[in-house]
Amino acid sequence: MSRIHARMPKPNNNLTMTVGNKVLVESVFSDTGLDGFLDDLKRRQGNSVASETIALVANSVEMTGLSVRRLDRLLEDERVREEYGLGANAPRSV
């Protein structure tokens, strides 16, 4: 009798995001007008406050207890910032 053994994957630099949470949060912000409200709270320089808040909320839904400190590390990845429409200064800005 032979057995099947699972092989442990080798660590890599792949990035995984739950897009459903992002789409849901963007929809709620848009439908309620919260995105426009948040963006009106600041001058037109830098990142969108709504985009930064959407990134925080969407990732908080997925990762219970996500802190702003952990989010800024997540936003250090260019691909994540691009998905949320944020610039290179997002980790410091959040």
> What pTM was estimated for this model as a whole?
0.67
8 A C-beta contact, residue 75 and residue 92: no
Over the stretch 74-93, which tens digit does the pLDDT of each residue have?
Answer: 888 888 888 888 888 888 77
- Average of per-residue pLDDT values in the chain: 82
Nearest residue to 71 (alpha-carbon basis) of 60, 86, 62:
60
pLDDT at 64: 66
